[in-house]
Chains A and B, each alone.
Chain A
Amino acid sequence: MLKKFLIFAFVCMFLIGCSSNESDAEKTGSDEIESFTFALPIDTQAIEPFNGTSTTSATVIYQMFNALTRTSPEGEVQGDLAESFERIDELTWQFKLRENVAFHNGEEFNAETVKYSVERMLDTSKQFGLTSDYLFIDSVEIVDDYTVNIITKEPNNGTPLSLIYLSMVPKEYIEENGDEYFAENPIGTGPFKFQEYAKDAHVKYERYDDYFKGKVNIKELTFKPIPEESSRIAALESGEVDLITDVSINQLNRLEQAENLVVESFPTTRVSYIGFNMRKDSELIQNESFRKALNYAVNVDSIIENLLEGNGETIPAIFLSHFNGYNSGIEPYAYDVEKAKELLEESGYDGESLELAIAANTKQLPVVEAVADMIREIGVNVEVVQKENVLMREEVAAGTISDLYFFNIGGAYNSSELMSRIGFGSVQRYSTFFNSEMDELRVAANSEMDEEKSEQLWQDYQNNIYDIAPAIFLYQEYASNVLSSAYTNYTPRGDELILLEDIEKNE
């Protein structure tokens, strides 16, 4: 009986195994790519473009939508649905719109669309996830069918960059069908039309042939959230997906050897640092010599070379090379143990024990452990503690976090203003550096209409933050994408969005 059963079970398994492998992507035709699948670690929060606050959500939404502006892969702000833009007075930015752009349902894109989209975003009663990023906007004025003025509450040089996530949405379609319907059946102006969203399983798109930048090569696009890294890699290796992200450094060497895969490591907009909790009533942390001592004690080059296998870049403070006012004249703090010890003595450190916090299960834990070791080398007692991610953020916001804490800021927060405000501005939730003089300098630099003067003010900001050292400055993070070698012309982006408009078949 058992024997018969086992034979039966084996035959069943074999037959199942021999059936066709229908999930393999087919790639036929000349330049056209029949189907393409990419996998990221998390699912999108929503397909309603105003509710996606994560980079993954933005990626999913960018396939279907456009905003007035967009950044280049290197981070330069360019017009997207706006042909050009300029600041016409302190508070007003004028956008000239592209003509002959239509939404997927044929509805025309024009100045009315912009006004409607911005006002919809600013309506706090709708509780959109992105609204808080746009409360700096006061109003929108229609100048003519293809010209709009966006008026801000305060002078703001960063307006065009901030607008990259304000997707343009179809006024008539939403007014006719309602917000709820739109949130499940989105329609944009982007290269792909929405087909289907199964939560935690996939988002499917089909090509929009009348895309204003020209038809893309991919006919059917699928996004899949695959949370587990090993499963993501397995799906790529078995050919079920064509592109994956978030691959850890120790896997990259192996994948680089594979003939059918291409590994792309690239600098992101993410800046890593170890903040000093300067809201804490601690003489030691308030002491500039102590903070500098710790900066001199850490060998960032060695961390990048040995722990990150070259996947990182030192930065002088918190500004990246493409930010306004980046000062290439400043050298990052050198690794100088003697100087560190001198400064430590100057600070009057008396053996006090410090805590260095990092969010639990963060891949940078080895980096933080190495930093702690280097600090111990100069004689500072420091202990690494892991904190649950949300609790850690809550403690940073409340100013009750440990003396030192690992943090990084990046993604869309990709400018001098955003980086300096979010990480180091007073009364900002993720800042523990409250300094009114630096706030004034930041506001002045961001308000100044004269580009040269603004640049100079940002350089001053960078010099000052380097001198004050409210953090142990670490590095610019790298990320990795792994792509099937069947494709070419894919450019990874510093802000880690995945855009597939230019991708081609590898002949």
Chain B
Amino acid sequence: MFHYILKRLLQSLIVLLGVLVIVFFTLRLSGNPIDVLLPPGASEEMVEIYTEQLGLDKSLVAQFGIYLKNIFQGDFGTSYYYKEAVTGVIFERLPATIQLTLFSFLFTLIIGIPAGVYSALKSGKASDYIVRIFALIGQCMPVFWAGLLLIIVFAVQLNLFPTQGTGSFRHLVLPSITLGLYSAATTVRLLRSSMLEVLSKDYIQVATSKGLSKRKIVWKHAFKNAVTAILTVLGIQVAGLLAGSMIVETVFSWPGIGRLVVQSINNRDFAVVQAVVILIASIYVVINLLVDILYSIINPRVRLMKGSSK
């Protein structure tokens, strides 16, 4: 197990380095931050001063070398736009995004799991079709549109929730639902098919013939096995929610890193974009690793298989 984790960690470092190279060089192909930083009337002299101060006069490779060296010293650079350390800029916004992600994931679980199980148990009946239609709508509806629809109905018309901003639990409801809608719908559909597969297995028939209660069969025997299959997907969904909050944060004026990265791309704030991309890549890597470990705990056969294949 320890060797496995170590190997995965080393692989992760290579992935992160690859991400860093790609994001560093593509960003620099996309335009000069000086054009955003300085007012239109700025003189050539000022452009030169800024270019030198920001280190943009050095060759790309030299800039990358300096950046890499600084990263290993824990320095992710200074934001051109906000004129402060990137880590500060990001950590100020990260709690808002984590909060939104957690609540969206909670929404995913609260809606996705009961609805998925229910749909599987009622397979072929009208209620199954209704759940599946809702799941399909949830998957097809563009996040942007869903968000605006929720704002118009629940905030403007019914005045139940605020239209935007942060500050209270009520502010969290609409953005969490909007962000969680797609992953909830995905969970419903995956869990339904996974449950159907498990429910047709022999051991379920045995349990039924032994006269176990339906609740015990569904939740202890069927659900536990069905959920293993969708665990990876759920894990990636958390990372996806975290990274995919850009649109939701924009629609709901949520002050998180999704909105920060959109603004920073527009402003060519290289250091911020690089750091956010690395952060998101790291989150994906870590969550994947955690899912794999969790997977082997829930389903020891996976670990055994990996062990035997060595």
Chain A residues within 8 Å of B, Cβ to Cβ: 1-2, 5-6, 9, 13, 16-17, 19, 21-23, 42-43, 45-46, 51, 53, 124, 127, 129-133, 135, 198-202, 224-228, 230-231, 234-235, 237-238, 240, 388-391, 393-394, 397, 409, 413, 418, 421-422, 427-430
Asked if A394 and B37 sit within 8 Å, CB to CB, the answer is: no
Determine which of B35, B38, B259 lies in contact with A394 in the assembled complex, contact meaning CB atoms within 8 Å: B35
Cα distance A239–B268 when bound, in Å?
35
**CB of B299 within 8 Å of the partner chain:** no
Chain B residues within 8 Å of A, Cβ to Cβ: 30-33, 35-47, 49-50, 53, 81-83, 89, 92-93, 110, 114, 117-118, 148, 151-152, 154-156, 158-170, 173, 215, 250-253, 255-256, 259-260, 263, 266, 268
Asked if B41 and A224 sit within 8 Å, CB to CB, the answer is: no
Cα distance A237–B164 when bound, in Å?
12
Closest 3 CB pairs of A and B: A390-B31, A200-B255, A17-B160
Residues of B within 8 A of A227 (CB): 250, 253, 259
Residues of B within 8 A of A46 (CB): 82-83
Whether A21 contacts B159 in the complex (CB less than 8 A), given A388-B30, A397-B35, A422-B40, comes out as: yes
Determine which of A22, A131, A201, A234 lies in contact with B163 in the assembled complex, contact meaning CB atoms within 8 Å: A234
Cα distance A42–B49 when bound, in Å?
28
Asked if A124 and B49 sit within 8 Å, CB to CB, the answer is: yes
Distance between A260 CB and nearest chain B CB, rounded to angstroms: 12
Asked if A226 and B253 sit within 8 Å, CB to CB, the answer is: yes
Cα distance A394–B117 when bound, in Å?
56
Whether A130 contacts B259 in the complex (CB less than 8 A), given A234-B163, A389-B266, comes out as: no
The residue on B at minimum CB distance from A397 is B35
The residue on B at minimum CB distance from A412 is B39
Asked if B156 and A391 sit within 8 Å, CB to CB, the answer is: no
Distance between B73 CB and nearest chain A CB, rounded to angstroms: 21
Asked if B39 and A225 sit within 8 Å, CB to CB, the answer is: no
Q: Which of A22, A199, A413 has the most CB of B within 10 A?
A: A199
Asked if A390 and B160 sit within 8 Å, CB to CB, the answer is: no
Determine which of A22, A394, A413, A421 lies in contact with B31 in the assembled complex, contact meaning CB atoms within 8 Å: A394
Distance between B97 CB and nearest chain A CB, rounded to angstroms: 11
Residues of B within 8 A of A42 (CB): 263
Whether A234 contacts B30 in the complex (CB less than 8 A), given A17-B161, A422-B41, comes out as: no
Determine which of B43, B53, B114 lies in contact with A132 in the assembled complex, contact meaning CB atoms within 8 Å: B43
Residues of B within 8 A of A45 (CB): 81-82
Asked if A231 and B49 sit within 8 Å, CB to CB, the answer is: no
Cα distance A127–B55 when bound, in Å?
13
Cα distance A226–B155 when bound, in Å?
15
Distance between B174 CB and nearest chain A CB, rounded to angstroms: 11
Asked if A201 and B255 sit within 8 Å, CB to CB, the answer is: yes
Chosen A-B contacts, 30 in total, with CB atoms closer than 8 Å, are: A1-B114, A2-B114, A2-B117, A5-B114, A16-B173, A21-B159, A21-B162, A45-B82, A127-B83, A132-B43, A199-B93, A201-B166, A201-B253, A201-B255, A224-B253, A231-B148, A231-B151, A231-B253, A238-B156, A240-B162, A240-B163, A390-B30, A390-B35, A390-B268, A391-B30, A413-B40, A418-B41, A428-B41, A429-B38, A429-B47
Q: Which of A22, A389, A390 has the most CB of B within 10 A?
A: A390
Asked if B83 and A51 sit within 8 Å, CB to CB, the answer is: yes
In the complex, besides A16-B160, A132-B39, A226-B164, 4 extra interface pairs with C-beta distance below 8 angstroms are A129-B39, A231-B163, A235-B163, A390-B35
